[in-house]
């Protein structure tokens, strides 16, 4: 805890605008609100800076955005002295995103950077692509991804198009902390250093996505499959329909009621394709036109959720593990059929993502790597393997996927195109995606996962989450659903405990506040605080054999009951 009143007064005594000073002055009479606004500085998590908009050091505003950019500029100047530095800036549809993007561009330009500023909102993955294409040292996108409307954020990228990783993230934070007075931030825009970009980059990006296609002949036959697409008031409307059209899909229905960019997200509670409610209007449209596929992207178009019809004609939502596994299955199968393998291919997933992907990769003789949660870790491994291994596809359970390596972040634009292609290819074999999913489970095992997220807001919530993690470390569960825990992996200590022998093994992984419990029956339970939201998350996974299509419903119900037993043993209530 810092002296929040002293921090607030230091803001008032700086050269910030009078409106901001007046807001802080009002907060001085509200101890709780003042504390929440100033008790700490926002720091880079798994998705960069993310926070509630408002005045204060723990809020997203002109000054925290400016301070972050100044710190980033100071660091890059140290890493690349005597170079003409370049940066790309993009933004999503959230309230104030354009203003924060202009603020970011102003500070970069005031520090001598050549700034490429997108002329309108754009998907986050296009920002990643533009950094590499334009040879920039860094890039920033203003977004809070799928968070509620009160939030905004700041994702910072390195010259490879990937989000900041150690040591760069920590070094930037240190540079930001070294700014002890807001007057040290250079806000004065240098117009000569700012260039607007837009459609030219769009075209290049879409051409690269088109090159990923594995089944153009299937689209020629089944390009008229009915697709409902919703951008959920976000940036996806800019490029997803164009991308589907370029691939050859001719029957795409963009959900009109959610097509307009709007930071208030008026038709949903949360603009998150992981939430069933966010897809309710798209599902209604799908039922009206008897659609084959529903696609939904989050506000910055880096995540995609899908719905498909089951064998009874009912629409079901797939979770991120199911969609990711299907994409890996389709992609690796097509690579084999097209004889593209050279023996050095790999896929990458995160430690909390389904083990089914590992089993699929093993079947096709492709290496499968695990990383910590966050696509920046997948991108870092791709960079490490460059010239040695060929990255094909990667993903994480939180609805983020990436095919190919010309983007170094999860990409809903290319994912929408590849999912639609997968649907068309299945149709040419008289299959639905539901049929393909069951085929996958019969071949590789029926994996089922469940995510439990508990929200704990504010300074009190942080303490409660920390105490929960301490409780699981000090008193780890002995069993789940009557299956003994055999191994406990603690990524914070870098050790794995073999329970029966009490042996401690070293694990070769970066430090992270994550616990994983493995049982004798193959269940996996992961626990971690979110790096982007005030939540603690529990990832439950179980699997069994599926012998036939006829046994699918019964096996699925049995796994659901098993996951409920595992949840009960967590004692979260």
- Which positions are annotated as active-site residues? 145
What does the DSSP 8-state code read for residue 137?
Answer: S
Greatest Cα-to-Cα distance within the chain, rounded to the nearest angstrom: 72
Which element (helix H / strand E) includes 298? none
Q: How far from the centroid of its chain's Cα atoms is residue 337's Cα?
A: 31
Distance CA 453, CA 537 (A): 5
Cβ neighbours of residue 285 closer than 8 Å, sequence gap 6 or more: 228, 253, 255, 291
Q: Is the dihedral of CA 203, 304, 141, 403 positive or negative?
A: negative
Q: Exposed, middle or buried: residue 288 (CB in 10 Å: 0-12, 13-18, 19+)?
A: exposed
What whole-number distance in Å separates Cα of residue 565 and Cα of residue 573? 14
Q: Is omega for the bond preceding 423 within 30 degrees of 0, making it cis?
A: no
Q: For residue 485, what is the enclosing H or E element? A: strand 483-490
Contact assessment for residue 116 and residue 136, using Cβ atoms and an 8 Å cutoff: yes
- DSSP character at residue 163: B
> Which residue do the tokens 């980059």 mark?
201
Q: How many CB atoms lie within 10 A of CB 48?
A: 26
Tell me the helices (H) and strands (E) count for the chain, helix number first: 18, 23
C-alpha–C-alpha distance, residues 101 and 260, integer Å: 20
CA dihedral 518, 519, 521, 527 (to 10 degrees): -50
Residues 95, 377 contacting (CB under 8 angstroms): no
β pairing state of 114-118 and 194-197: parallel
DSSP string, 18-77: HHHHHHHHHHTT-HHHHHHHHSS----BTTBEEEEBSSSTTSBSHHHHHHHHHHHHHHHH
């Amino acid at each position: 805890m810092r002296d929040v009143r002293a921090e607030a007064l230091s803001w008032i005594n700086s050269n910030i605008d009078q409106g901001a000073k007046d807001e802080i002055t009002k907060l001085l009479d509200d101890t709780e609100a003042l504390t929440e606004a100033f008790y700490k500085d926002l720091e880079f998590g798994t998705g960069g800076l993310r926070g509630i908009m408002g005045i204060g050091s723990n809020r997203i505003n002109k000054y925290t955005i400016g301070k972050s950019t100044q710190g980033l500029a100071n660091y890059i100047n140290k890493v690349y002295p005597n170079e003409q530095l370049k940066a790309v800036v993009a933004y999503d549809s959230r309230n104030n995103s354009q203003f924060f993007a202009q603020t970011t561009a102003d500070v970069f330009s005031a520090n001598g950077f050549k700034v490429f500023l997108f002329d309108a909102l754009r998907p986050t993955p296009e920002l990643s692509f533009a950094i590499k294409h334009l040879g920039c040292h860094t890039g920033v996108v203003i977004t809070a991804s799928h968070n509620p409307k009160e939030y905004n954020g700041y994702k910072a990228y390195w010259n490879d198009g990937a989000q900041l990783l150690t040591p760069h993230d920590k070094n930037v934070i240190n540079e930001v902390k070294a700014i002890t007075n807001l007057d040290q931030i250079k806000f004065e825009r240098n117009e000569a250093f700012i260039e607007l970009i837009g459609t030219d980059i769009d075209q290049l990006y879409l051409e690269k996505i088109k090159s990923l296609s594995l089944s153009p002949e299937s689209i020629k036959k089944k390009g008229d499959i009915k697709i409902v697409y919703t951008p959920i008031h976000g940036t996806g409307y800019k490029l997803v329909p164009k991308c589907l059209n370029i691939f050859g899909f001719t029957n795409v229905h963009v959900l009109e009621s959610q097509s307009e960019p709007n930071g208030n997200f008026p038709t949903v509670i949360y603009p998150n394709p992981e939430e069933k409610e966010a897809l309710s209007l798209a599902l209604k449209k799908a039922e009206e036109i008897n659609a084959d596929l529903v696609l939904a992207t989050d506000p910055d178009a880096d995540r995609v959720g899908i719905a498909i019809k089951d064998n009874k004609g009912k629409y079901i939502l797939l979770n991120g593990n199911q969609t990711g596994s299907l994409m890996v299955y389709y992609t690796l199968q097509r690579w084999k059929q097209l004889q593209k393998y050279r023996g050095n291919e790999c896929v990458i997933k995160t430690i909390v993502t389904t083990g089914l992907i590992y089993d699929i990769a093993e079947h096709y003789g492709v290496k499968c790597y695990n990383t910590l949660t966050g696509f920046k870790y997948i991108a870092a491994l791709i960079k490490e393997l460059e010239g040695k291994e060929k990255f094909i596809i990667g993903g994480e359970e939180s609805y983020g996927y990436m095919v190919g390596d010309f983007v170094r972040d999860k990409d809903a634009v290319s994912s929408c195109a590849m999912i639609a292609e997968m649907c068309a290819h299945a149709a040419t074999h008289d299959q639905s995606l539901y049929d393909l999913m069951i085929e996958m489970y019969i071949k590789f095992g029926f994996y089922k996962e469940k995510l439990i997220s508990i929200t704990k807001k504010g300074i009190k919530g942080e303490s409660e989450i920390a105490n929960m993690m301490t409780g699981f470390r000090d008193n780890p569960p002995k069993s789940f659903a009557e299956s003994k825990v055999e191994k406990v992996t603690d990524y914070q200590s870098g050790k794995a405990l073999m329970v029966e022998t009490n042996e401690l093994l070293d694990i070769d992984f970066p430090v992270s506040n994550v616990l994983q419990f493995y049982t004798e029956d193959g269940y996996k339970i992961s626990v971690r605080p979110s790096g982007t939201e005030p939540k603690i998350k529990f990832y439950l996974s179980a699997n069994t054999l599926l012998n036939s299509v006829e046994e699918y419903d019964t096996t699925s119900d049995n796994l659901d009951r098993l996951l409920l037993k595992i949840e009960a043993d967590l004692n979260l209530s």
